Amino acid sequence: MPAMRYLMKQNFFCLGDDYAIQDETGRDAFLVDGRAISFGDKLSFQDIEGNELAFISQKLLSWGPTYQIWRGAELAAVVKKELFTFFQCSFTVDVPGPDDIEAQGDFMDHEYTFVRRGQVIAAVSKQWFTWTDTYGVDVADGQDDVLMLASAVVIDLVCHNNKKH
C-alpha cells in the first residue's frame, strides 16, 4: 500500500480536543481545533493556514457514539461505533454512495485499519512512549486524506477520551 504517512498528535495542554497533524517530512499539515465548551464534541479540521476543510460534530440523540463529518454544507460521512459486536469494537464510516468504510482492529491498543471493499485504504498505529496520544496514520494513494484523518480523530474521541468520561 503506497501511502502518505502522517503523525497525528493530541495536544496535551488544551481545553478542547485539539490535534496537530504533520506530514511524513515533519512539516505541519493540518490542525484539528476542538471547541472547549459545547454540547457534544465539535471540532474544526483545518489546513495550516486555518481554512476549514471539514467540521466534525457529535450526533447527540443516537444509539451509540455517532459523529458527522461535514465539508461545508455537504455531509461527507457518518462515523458510528457498532453496538452489537462480539470480542472487538467496530466502526463504520458511512459515505454517500455504495463505498462505505469499515474500521477494524484493536482500538484499545490503537492498532487498526480502514477497509473498503476488502482493500486496506488506511492504517493507524499508536506511537508509544509519548505524553499524549500520538498516532502514525498511513493513507493509501488516491484516498481522501482528510476523511481518513478526521475518522481517526473520531475513533480516538470515542475510545480514548478520558478528559470528558
Average pLDDT over residues 56-76: 90
Which string of DSSP letters, residue by residue, matches 112-123?
A: EEEEETTEEEEE
- In one-letter notation, the amino acid at residue 53 is L
Question: Per residue in 90-101, pLDDT tens?
Answer: 899 999 988 999
Residue 52 has pLDDT above 80, yes or no: yes
In the chain, what are the domain boundaries? 3-160
Residue 162 has pLDDT above 80, yes or no: no
Residue 165 has pLDDT above 50, yes or no: no
Q: Using alpha carbons only, what angle is made at residue 150 by residues 8 and 42, rounded to the nearest 5 degrees?
A: 105
Mean pLDDT of the residues in the chain: 84
Residues with Cβ within 8 Å of 8's Cβ and at least 6 positions away in sequence, in order, are 19, 20, 21, 134, 135, 136, 137, 149, 152, 153
Residues 101, 93 contacting (CB under 8 angstroms): yes
Average pLDDT over residues 43-58: 96
Identify which of 86, 74, 163, 154 has the alpha carbon closest to the alpha carbon of residue 114: 154
3-160 belongs to CATH 3.20.90.10 = yes
